[in-house]
Amino acid sequence: MEENVIIASGGLQLQGLFDPKRNDRAVVVTHPHPLYGGDMFSPVVEAVVRAYARAGWATLRFNFRGAGTSDGAFDNGRGEQDDLRRAMAFVRDKGLDNVDLAGYSFGAWVNALAYGNEPLPGRMVMVAPPVNFLDFGPVTSLSALDLVIAGDRDDFADAARVRAMVTEWNGQARMEVIPGADHFFWSDLDRVEALLFDFLSIPEARKNGSTRLSV
């Protein structure tokens, strides 16, 4: 069960929800754009958290600075990268060393920028990276990227453009495209959760880029 936690980030206090498990596996989940109502209670974020929890992983979701009851103000991805690093440190301080990084929309962008500036441990999962809306130009390589989920009716994350960029970031990453889904996956949250849960259920030997999937 998730519990309320506070994450310290450069003098700020960030609101978070942490669900500990009795293993060494955890995921940090980041949320969509706070200036457009995005926070850690986004339905897509909750679908990602449910998938990891069902698979037995500890989960941490949190509000970036200025979102929800977190201190501070929106910083256009800069301070948010610091928030992400502090969230990952929070998880590692709990003794969880195998940490995935999963982000939806703006969260996926922040994760990619943070990884490009300083490679982070674990695997990376992206849901609807908004390549038509935010600048992914600084991101040239994401060796940790393992799974990308997109919709084929997403005006912010055009599936063809996402696929081309994923090929540049990590040609071995899997990409799953959900037919009929837009950026918010209103009718497809169960599908997002199921795809991610199936991915997490694949034996480790098959998670090393040996198979690239597309739906």
Of 145, 94, 105, 89, the closest CA to residue 122 belongs to: 145
User: 157 exposed, middle or buried (CB, 10 Å; 0-12, 13-18, 19+)?
Assistant: buried
**Taking 80 as the threshold, does the pLDDT of residue 12 lie above it?**
yes
**CA distance linking residue 117 with residue 113, whole number of Å:** 6
Q: In this predicted structure, what is the pLDDT of residue 209?
A: 40
**Taking 50 as the threshold, does the pLDDT of residue 210 lie above it?**
no
Contacts of 87 (CB under 8 A, 6+ apart): 7, 9, 14, 16, 28, 60, 62
Architecture of domain 3-202: 3-Layer(aba) Sandwich (3.40)
Q: What's the whole-number mean pLDDT along residues 32-49?
A: 98
pLDDT digits (tens, 9 = 90+) for 108-149: 999 999 987 776 768 999 999 999 999 999 999 999 999 999
Q: In this predicted structure, what is the pLDDT of residue 97?
A: 86
Identify which has the larger pLDDT, 161 or 119: 161
Q: In this predicted structure, what is the pLDDT of residue 215?
A: 37
Q: In this predicted structure, what is the pLDDT of residue 212?
A: 40
Q: What's the whole-number mean pLDDT along residues 156-181?
A: 97
Most confident of 19-23, 59-63, 207-211: 59-63
CB-CB contact of 58 with 27 (8 Å): yes
For 117-138, the DSSP string reads HSPPSS-EEEES--TTTS--TT
Q: In this predicted structure, what is the pLDDT of residue 68?
A: 97
Q: In this predicted structure, what is the pLDDT of residue 203?
A: 63
